[in-house]
Amino acid sequence: MTFVLADETAPNAPSPNASDRPTIPNSPAPPSPELSAHDPSTDDDDDDDDDDDDPVAILAAPSTRPPAPKRRRSAQDSDDLSDPTERGRSSRHTKKRRRRTDGTMRLDSDASKRSHSPTHSYINGSTRSPGPRSALGKIANGDSRRSESNGSYTNGSSVASVKALSSSLFGHDREEVTRILIQSLSDLGYSDAAGALVKESGYTLEGPTVAAFRNAVLNGDWAEAEELLFGTNSYDNGGGIHLDAAPGYGKTWAKSRSIAQSHRAQGLPLADGANRDEMMFWLKQQKYLELLERRDLAKALMVLRQDLMMCPSADDLKSQAEWDGADGESRTLLLSELSKSISPSVMIPEHRLVSLLDEVKDGWISNCLYHNTADSPSLYIDHNCHRDDFPMKPVLELQGHHDEVWYLKYSHDGTKLASTSKDKTIVIYDTTTYKILHQLDEHDSGVTHLAWSPDDTKIITCCAHQENSARIWDVQTGACLRLISDFTYPCTTAAWAPSGTHVVIGSQDTKYGCCIWNLDGHLVHAFAPHHNDSVRVNDLAISADGSRLVVLLENKIQVYDFKSREKLCEWHFDDVKLTSVTISSDSRHMLVSMNKNKIRLIEIDTGREVQGFEGQIQENFIIRSSFGGADENFVVSGSEDGRVYIWRNNVNGPLVEALDAHEGCVNAVAWHPSDPRCFASAGDDGRVRVWRPR
């Protein structure tokens, strides 16, 4: 504990700074104080013998000088995080005093819920053994007076009897590195090690005001939280605060107006760009919701004087507000959001070391041209994937067709591969041996497209002119389960609903251009043309989460809410013809191929172009592109020059490889869904080739 002259104030914390092949169809505040956990009732000027019974005590060395008439407060009781070499223990001798530590805080969340919370108390920058105390074990407010020769420790600084350590660590700030390590050791569950580092370094994870703010939020003391965050008149009770928390987070830091030493502080420094009004709203909103949860409507009305949300029950409130209540994680989430707006110099962002390591790995992966694994890179060595491990060699040539192969697709589990052809057949291969399981030959025209059902037990195929139909097949038996022949123009594409009970078929038909059908072949819903424009579909796709249907017309993209079937948006493109679309696995982006020679990655809901991929040739025919590799790290496409083009799917989109693949057009490429070192290509030469590393 330290003392303040009656006319002194603590220093402020720092501020931070239409042919027979599928050609492209032509359409017909004020300063605030620091609060502390000291209980004035425990102050005693007499030298009692019960000091050893107090949890934390401060020993003062005997003084030959008369006691000072005023008490002095040292800088280490503030949240200032200045250079430790500029701070030290006050040379003024003080009378022996006692204090009680009340407030406790945790490094992350409630110890009863989060296993990595420390199990030992850190008293504002120091540790104390839970065992019997000795004369050398008395620690207070981050100050450990020990007989060892390696120095003594104060709140956030160290004064060593040996040569002081440099403030720089290989070009990094030693204090920043140390505090991040303290936080990380606690996150890992090594609370004793974290305490030892606090004790030896003299650096604290958080100062008392930050700790008090954390406790106030987690304990639901909203007035206290607001005062500590934004500043207000308050009173210094003295004392420190633990950096971890027992269940209940200890006692609330109470203000005592009987203490004469009142002052005004600025509150916690906010981060650059922080919105004070938004932070205040978050606090008021949490308080309001908790009052409504308790059905204390009078107090809730005081918080929100208008638009009071009346709910018949607490459960109804939680459901409507998507809020889990005071006993859930809402306070922890609120603290997490507020901490992002507080200066990181006083409140380190959550799991900071993990975030830094993630940035390092993300940088490695982004710069690794051939990165094709979902495994996290090792930190022991710099990461780099070798070209030899990338699929660039055709190891198998499948000859199940005798004419142009127009499309192919692996089953979701990767155990089968199906291809369609101008020769009117569909071939299904077993991918263990790539032997033919079924050759389906009931179509009367070339087969343009196929799609696997979500459980891989069925496929739907689309047929060109003259048949103009779609068929649903049983994969196990090879039997045709249903023929849908209501169309007068070619069926171009199809997709399965996530439920597996319906299909969406796209067609050049003006009446049934884009419709939902059940497995009995009955029409369920027709997406009506907008302003009597005909819907002639070139391609379509349904997002993995089932929320979006993307429909490609000749020069515009339509996006529907697949559940409500309402059209959400429409994007127009000039001087191009759109040919194919694939949706990313996170359901956020669509990959669109278009003439001439363009592939674009576009946000589904905004239409914003994220990345472009160029180099392939697409001018006259339908060439399909898709995602591929581990975590969809690559974009792959066929080309009219007989090559397979592969790009890195990142912010720069560099071309990785252009592989000579087939004679004539490469119409489609399918990457294996569970083996990122394998993909297959389909060409005009009637061949399907399987690619693996050399």
The C-alpha angle with vertex 231 and arms to 246 and 228, in degrees rounded to 5, equals 5
pLDDT value at residue 299:
75
686: nearest Cα among 663, 670, 659, 660 = 663
pLDDT value at residue 172:
85
Convert 452-474 to b/e letters by CB count within 10 Å (16 or more is b). Answer: bbeebebbbbbbbbebbbbbbbe
336-346 mean pLDDT: 83
606-622 mean pLDDT: 94
What is the C-alpha R_g of the chain?
A: 34
CA distance linking residue 658 with residue 639, whole number of Å: 10
pLDDT at 108 exceeding the cut of 50: no
How many other CB atoms sit within 10 Å of the CB of residue 19? Answer: 10
Structure tokens at 567: 């059209």
DSSP secondary structure letters along 222-269: HHHHHHHHH--EEE------BSS--TT-B------TT-S-EEEB--SP
260-277 mean pLDDT: 72
What are the sequence ranges of the domains in the chain?
Answer: 40-62+79-264, 276-350
- pLDDT tens-digit series, residues 538-586: 999 999 999 999 999 999 999 999 999 999 999 999 889 999 999 999 9
Beta partners for 590?
Answer: 583, 602
pLDDT value at residue 211:
87
Structure tokens at 219: 């304990």
CA distance linking residue 483 with residue 440, whole number of Å: 14
CA distance linking residue 552 with residue 529, whole number of Å: 13
Structure tokens at 325: 């209540």
395-411 mean pLDDT: 97
Q: Give Cα 408 to chain centroid, integer Å.
A: 34
Under 8 Å CB-to-CB from 193, ≥6 apart: which residues?
Answer: 185
pLDDT at 409 exceeding the cut of 70: yes
Confidence of residue 223 (pLDDT cuts 50, 70, 90): confident
CA distance linking residue 515 with residue 518, whole number of Å: 10
- pLDDT tens-digit series, residues 1-25: 443 333 444 444 444 444 455 655 5
pLDDT value at residue 541:
98
Residue 204 has, within 13 A of its CA and on its CB side, a CA count of 37
- pLDDT tens-digit series, residues 350-390: 888 888 989 999 999 999 999 999 888 888 788 999 999 99
- pLDDT tens-digit series, residues 142-185: 333 333 333 333 333 343 333 578 888 888 888 889 999 999 99
pLDDT value at residue 354:
87
